[in-house]
């Protein structure tokens, strides 16, 4: 008797041989595809197990900033740090990329511009004519060759005669390549020109930053009225940080507002202030509301020589209010309260509906719970003890998934950035810089046992001469209070310190007049935070940068065992 299984196998083989070739091909292709799928699943599983992706939080601009804040301590406070945050103009690419592209195209077009048409019968002995297109062409070519790696030239004005024959004063607008913002700065220099080959003009020599006084912007004519000039009439006409108005009462009634009262963040360090302020601004954007902001800042004692907190500082001293107005919906607090009271009086007289207000007494009420609230004003109140009354508590926990801090809305004040550009310009954008952190950290031997010795004058000379070419311009950004502390470096470098440029914020400077206009005619002190902000930005623009905790010392930035 034949084995049934053998017979079945023989029958199956025979049947398979009888299958059409097309069906066999489909069957083979199906087996191959299934095998490839199994292999892909296996590879993906192995990669998912062993691959450690980079943390996008650490790679993003927001992460860089939040990391510099040392995050939040267990008791929900912030560490005091001497550093200044890199704000939007340093970290965030332009939202309108075309602005950056246009600026880059401007310098490219200037460099590749067609040669100036030279008259056939040109006279090489003729005096230099500053209004001749050959003059601006020579100046453009010279600037592009010397400064192209540092700044982007945006526009030129027609040169005017200097003080002597052959001299021309030229003015232009530029943007710094290290700054991501669209902000423009001004320069005007004196050039000595001569006729060169083919009667082209050539630059023989060039003056320093803002040496071409005949091309300097003319001050506005004096006002006929005896009333003081409004804040808008200030030397830098491109600054417009006037306080916006809410408009008519009906406009106020139609609006939706988010109002924060002062909390425990007031008079804390500027890093904590920004961390909390941007949390509030982020919630306003999440709720699609206008944020009511207090322009008055309390500067923490760490930035004041007196060691005391100082109230009444204007937000506009430190940050660009014009850019904030353009990138976020904000209204100034006193303007908002005045219109609110005015509406309440009007509505009571006309017996019309009152403004609806939702008071939120605790940060534990999340932004998600307020998303559908129709009240005209959502009023967050921070009356509890610290750290319960910190603004940034609103953005903690589950809210952190929904609230995005708009760091791109915060730029440093253009008044401070003008000082930065003047310092870098006086150094012809060709300098190196070292950041020397001393102060309280150098005195704290428990957390920073080597810092004091590693930043001594002798140690600085030994280390810097190995990494920076001698007799270069060397800018020292530091919190060391003694001006002569770095004298030993002067035997090796052209040393520059922030105090070498006091005239830029002295009582005859643009900064002095502009800030005084914001302060009702009263002088404004160039305080510790302003000094650190300018120091930091000049450091960022150096060709070579040497950092304390990365290059000069073995200690960790946040103390022992924190590297």
Does 315 reside within a domain? yes
Would the pLDDT of 97 be above 50? no
Contact 152, 107 (CB under 8 A): yes
Question: Is there a single domain that holds both residue 439 and residue 538?
Answer: yes
Local confidence band at 537 (pLDDT 50, 70, 90 cut-offs): very high
Question: Is there a single domain that holds both residue 328 and residue 421?
Answer: no
Question: Is there a single domain that holds both residue 434 and residue 519?
Answer: yes
**Domain closes at, from 373, 407, 441:** 407
Question: Is there a single domain that holds both residue 390 and residue 476?
Answer: no
Mean local confidence (pLDDT), 179-195: 90
Local confidence band at 117 (pLDDT 50, 70, 90 cut-offs): low
Question: Is there a single domain that holds both residue 154 and residue 248?
Answer: no
Question: Is there a single domain that holds both residue 390 and residue 417?
Answer: no
Does 224 reside within a domain? no
Does 489 reside within a domain? yes
- Record the tokens describing residue 344, joined without a space: 């309440």
**Domain closes at, from 359, 381, 407:** 407
**Domain closes at, from 407, 425, 449:** 407
Contact 92, 100 (CB under 8 A): no
Mean local confidence (pLDDT), 358-375: 95
Question: Is there a single domain that holds both residue 249 and residue 397?
Answer: yes
CA angle 357, 363, 365 (to 5 degrees): 65
- Record the tokens describing residue 510, joined without a space: 């643009």
Does 69 reside within a domain? no
Question: Is there a single domain that holds both residue 462 and residue 502?
Answer: yes
- Record the tokens describing residue 343, joined without a space: 């509406």
**Burial (CB count within 10 angstroms: exposed 0-12, middle 13-18, buried 19+), residue 98:** exposed
Does 167 reside within a domain? yes
- d(C-alpha 177, C-alpha 149), whole Å: 8
Question: Is there a single domain that holds both residue 434 and residue 527?
Answer: yes
Residue 308 is part of which domain span?
Answer: 243-407
pTM assigned to the model: 0.76
Does 68 reside within a domain? no
Does 477 reside within a domain? yes
Count CB neighbours of 491 within 10 A.
9
Number of structural domains, the chain?
3
Does 236 reside within a domain? no
What 3-state DSSP class applies to 310? strand
Question: Is there a single domain that holds both residue 489 and residue 422?
Answer: yes
Question: Is there a single domain that holds both residue 418 and residue 500?
Answer: yes
Q: What is the pLDDT of residues 423-450, one digit of tens each?
A: 999 999 999 999 999 999 999 999 999 9
CA angle 531, 535, 539 (to 5 degrees): 170
Question: Is there a single domain that holds both residue 259 and residue 210?
Answer: no
Write down the pLDDT at residue 314: 96
Percentage of the chain beyond pLDDT 90 is 61
């Amino acid at each position: 008797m034949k084995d049934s299984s053998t017979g079945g196998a023989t029958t199956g083989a025979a049947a398979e041989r009888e299958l059409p070739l097309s069906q066999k091909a489909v069957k083979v292709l199906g087996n191959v595809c299934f095998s490839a799928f199994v292999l892909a699943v296996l590879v993906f599983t192995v990669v998912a197990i062993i691959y450690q992706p980079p943390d996008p939080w650490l790679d993003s601009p927001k992460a860089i900033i939040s990391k510099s804040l040392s995050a939040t301590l267990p008791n929900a406070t912030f560490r005091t740090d001497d550093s200044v945050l890199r704000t939007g103009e340093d970290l965030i690419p332009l939202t309108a990329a075309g602005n950056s592209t246009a600026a880059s195209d401007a310098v490219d077009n200037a460099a590749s511009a067609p040669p100036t048409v030279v008259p056939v019968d040109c006279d090489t002995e003729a005096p230099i004519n500053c209004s001749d297109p050959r003059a601006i062409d020579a100046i453009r070519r010279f600037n592009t060759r010397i400064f192209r790696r540092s700044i982007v030239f945006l526009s030129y004005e027609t040169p005017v005669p200097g003080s002597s024959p052959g001299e021309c004063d030229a003015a232009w607008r530029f943007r710094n390549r290290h700054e991501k913002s669209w902000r423009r700065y001004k320069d005007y220099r004196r050039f000595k020109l001569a006729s060169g080959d083919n009667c082209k003009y050539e630059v023989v020599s060039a003056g320093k930053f803002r040496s071409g006084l005949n091309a300097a912007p003319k001050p506005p004519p004096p006002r006929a009225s005896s009333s003081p000039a409004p804040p808008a009439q200030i030397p830098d006409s491109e600054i417009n940080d006037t306080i916006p108005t809410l408009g008519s009462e009906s406009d106020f009634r139609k609006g939706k507002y988010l109002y924060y009262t002062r909390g425990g963040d007031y008079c804390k360090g500027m890093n904590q202030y920004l961390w909390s302020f941007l949390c509030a601004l982020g919630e306003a954007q999440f709720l699609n509301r206008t944020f009511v902001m207090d322009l008055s800042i309390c500067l923490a004692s760490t930035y004041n020589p007196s060691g005391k907190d100082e109230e009444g500082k204007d937000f506009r001293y430190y940050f660009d209010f014009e850019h904030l107005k353009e990138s976020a919906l904000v209204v100034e607090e006193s303007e908002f309260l005045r219109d609110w009271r005015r509406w309440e009086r009007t509505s009571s007289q006309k017996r019309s509906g009152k403004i609806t207000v939702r008071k939120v007494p605790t940060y534990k009420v999340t932004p998600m719970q307020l998303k559908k609230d129709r009240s005209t004003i959502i009023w967050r109140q921070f009356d509890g003890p610290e750290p319960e009354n910190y603004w940034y508590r609103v953005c903690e926990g589950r809210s952190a998934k929904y609230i995005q801090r708009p760091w791109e809305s915060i730029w440093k004040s253009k008044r401070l950035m003008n000082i930065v550009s003047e310092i870098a310009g006086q150094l012809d954008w060709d300098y190196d810089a070292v950041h020397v952190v001393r102060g309280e950290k150098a005195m704290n031997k428990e957390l920073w046992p080597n810092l004091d010795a590693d930043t001594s004058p002798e140690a600085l000379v030994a280390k810097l001469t190995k990494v920076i070419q001698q007799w270069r311009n060397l800018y020292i950004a530091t919190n060391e209070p003694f001006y002569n502390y770095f004298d030993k470096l002067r035997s090796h470098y052209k040393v520059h310190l922030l105090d070498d440029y006091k005239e830029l914020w002295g009582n005859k400077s643009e900064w002095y007049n502009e800030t005084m206009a914001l302060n009702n005619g009263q002088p404004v002190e160039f305080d510790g935070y302003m000094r650190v902000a300018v120091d930091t930005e000049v450091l960022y623009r150096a060709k070579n940068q040497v950092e304390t905790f990365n290059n000069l010392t073995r200690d960790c930035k946040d103390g022992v065992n924190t590297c």
